[in-house]
Amino acid sequence: GGVMGEQAFYIAILSSAVIAGTPILYAALGELVTERAGVTNLGVEGMMLIGAVSGFMAAIVTGNSWIGFAAAMMAGGLMGLIHAVLTVSLRANQVVSGLALTLFGTGLSGYLGKGYIGIPVAEPFRGVSLPLLGDIPLLGPILFRHDVLIYLSWLVVLALWFFLSRTRAGLNLQAIGENPGAADSLGIPVFSLRYFYVIVGGMLCGAGGAYLSLASAPSWLENMTAGRGWIAVALVIFALWNPGRALVGSYLFGGIDALGFHLQAAGVHVSHFFLQMLPYLFTIAVLTIVMARRGGRLAAPGSLGIPYDREQR
């Protein structure tokens, strides 16, 4: 029984790692798209919270979690639109705009969600075992018995990878992040594309928030993202702006998160505060290692964080 128990423990942790990593994955993919277009977005945490509360409210009002998920993406997209107006059109400082959006999103989501605390979701997203795949020993319970939003996140990773590496539009996206002046002179519409990708990034951040309030912990709690937006921002650097690495990285972070929870459940006496610190300690360690290995240089898009001014070309 000992071996079986141990195996069940590891399966539980790895399966939880996928669930805990999914909101981070959606948000990191959103940040990755935005940064590939040359715009830094530090508003991820605020966008996730607005997505979480909007998705939850829409799901309660309509009784349909898919409508909730769509509403969360729209709300995240609206936050992205505000960021785009500030940073692309008005050329405001991207760091300041992002921080302002995080503060705004945190406050507004708390205000909007006041009346929704403690209400259960009628039909949250539940685990669905994929035919055949769900029955594979070990891999089945770890990967293939989850809710639809997890499978959807894999499709987003695949689509993004294909888009960035195999399509002309994907190359244009990289061009406006690397050298917007050159892209502009080739007739690539830098401003409208930056708008588009900042909004798409916001929509994915909103999806990450909705995953929390409609799937992993179907409820609304103030500040329920608990810093995951910041982990997503750091994760993009760790992933070197690559969607596949973002997937692996978010499950790593999810695993650290899940590990603490399962250690407590198994009766291992570790301070609750130390366990909460773990993902952030891990984030700092990972960023330090990535920077050291690359001699302080990153594979960041060349014009990341620099507003594009056509007059100065």
Q: What is the DSSP secondary-structure string of 122-174?
A: SS-----PPTTGGGSTTHHHHHSSS-HHHHHHHHHHHHHHHHHHH-HHHHHHH
Give the C-alpha separation, 313 to 309, whole Å: 7
pLDDT reported for residue 269: 82
What does the alpha-carbon distance between residue 97 and residue 76 come to, in Å, rounded to a whole number? 15
User: Cα(189)–Cα(242) distance, rounded to whole angstroms?
Assistant: 24
* More confident call, 280 vs 124: 124
Q: How many CB atoms lie within 10 A of CB 148?
A: 15
Q: How many residues make up the chain in this entry?
A: 313
pLDDT at 171 over 80: yes
Q: Which of 86-95, 98-107, 233-242, 283-292 has the lowest mean pLDDT?
A: 283-292
Q: Is the pLDDT of residue 68 over 80?
A: yes
Report which of 113, 84, 32, 103 is spatially closest to residue 299, judged by C-alpha positions.
Answer: 32
How many Å is the maximal CA-CA distance in the chain?
72
How far apart CA 265 and CA 228 sit, in angstroms, is 22
- Reading the block at residue 312, the tokens are 């100065």
Query: Which pLDDT does position 295 carry in this prediction?
Result: 67
- The stretch 50-78 carries a mean pLDDT of 97
Q: Which residues of 283-310 are buried (b: 16+ CB within 10 A; e: fewer)?
A: beebeeebeeeeeeeeebbebbeebbee
Position 281 scores a pLDDT of 87
Residue 173 binned pLDDT confidence (cut-offs 50, 70, 90): very high
Please check the confidence at residue 313 and state whether its pLDDT lies above 60: no
Integer Cα distance of 87 and 198 in angstroms:
10
- Which pLDDT value is given to residue 250? 95
Give residue-wise pLDDT tens across range 257-288: 888 888 888 888 888 788 878 888 888 888 88
Residues of the chain with pLDDT > 70, as a percent, come to 98
Q: What digits encode the pLDDT tens for the residues 178-231?
A: 999 999 999 999 999 999 999 999 999 999 999 999 999 899 999 999 999 999
Mean pLDDT of 43-58: 98
Q: Is the pLDDT of residue 91 over 90?
A: yes
* Whole-number average pLDDT of the chain: 92
What's the CA gap between 31 and 39, in Å, rounded?
A: 9
Query: What is the pLDDT, as a whole number, of residue 119?
Result: 92
* CA atoms of 79 and 101, how far apart (whole Å): 8
What is the amino acid identity at position 203? M
Residue 102 CB-density burial (10 A; 0-12 exposed, 13-18 middle, 19+ buried):
buried
Mean pLDDT of 78-104: 96
Give residues with Cβ within 8 angstroms of 57, minimum separation 6: 68, 71, 112, 113, 116, 220
pLDDT by residue (tens digit) across 129-166? Answer: 888 888 898 898 889 899 999 999 999 999 999 999 99
How far apart are the C-alpha atoms of 300 and 304, rounded to whole Å? Answer: 7
Share of the chain above pLDDT 90, in %: 70
Q: Give CA–CA dist 301/47, Å, rounded.
A: 23
Q: What's the confidence (pLDDT) of residue 279?
A: 83
Q: Which residue has the higher pLDDT, 312 or 211?
A: 211
Instruction: Say yes or no to pLDDT of 297 above 70.
Output: no
Structure tokens at 113: 């969600």
Q: Residue 296 is which amino acid?
A: G
Separation of CA 181 from chain center: 29
Q: Looking at residues 56-82, what average pLDDT do you find? A: 97
From 37, 39, 113, select the one nearest 75 (Cα to Cα). Answer: 113
